[in-house]
Amino acid sequence: MKKVFKHAAIAAALISVIGSAQAEAIILKVHHFLGPTSIQHTKMLRTWCDNIAKDSKDRLQCQIYPAMQLGGTPPQLFDQARDGVADVVWTLPGYSSGRFPKMEVFELPFMMTNPEATSRATWDYYEKFAKDEFKDVKVLAMHVHGPGNIFTAKKQIKTMADIKGLKLRGPTRLTTKLLASMGATPVGMPVPAVPDAMSKGTIDGAVIPYEVAPLLKIEELARFTAEPDRGENALYTTVFVVPMNKAKYESLPADLKKVIDKNSGRELSAFLGKTQGDNDIPGKAKMVAGGHTITIIPKSELDVWKRASASLSIEWISDMEKKGHNGANLVHEAQGFIAKYTK
pLDDT in tens, 32-67: 999 999 999 999 999 999 999 999 999 999 999 999
Within a domain: residue 182?
Answer: yes
Within a domain: residue 250?
Answer: no
Q: How far is CA 76 from CA 70, 95, 137, 226, 228, in A?
A: 11, 8, 14, 31, 32
Distance between alpha carbon 220 and the CA centroid of its chain, in Å? 24
Within a domain: residue 69?
Answer: no
Within a domain: residue 222?
Answer: yes
Average pLDDT over residues 326-343: 98
pLDDT top residue among 233 and 11: 233
pLDDT in tens, 246-271: 999 999 999 999 999 999 999 999 99
Q: Percent of the chain scored above 90 by pLDDT? A: 92
Within a domain: residue 111?
Answer: no
Within a domain: residue 129?
Answer: no
Give the strand order in the sheet containing 167-170. Answer: 185-188, 167-170, 205-208, 149-152, 224-228, 293-297
**Boundaries of domain holding 229:** 149-236+282-341
Within a domain: residue 320?
Answer: yes
Q: Is the pLDDT of residue 3 over 90?
A: no
pLDDT given at position 13: 42
Q: What is the CATH number of the domain that holds 294?
A: 3.40.190.170
pLDDT given at position 14: 39
pLDDT given at position 24: 87
Please tell me the total count of domains within the chain: 1
Give the chain's mean pLDDT. 94
Q: Is the pLDDT of residue 6 over 80?
A: no
Average pLDDT over residues 76-89: 98
Within a domain: residue 164?
Answer: yes
pLDDT in tens, 12-23: 443 443 444 444
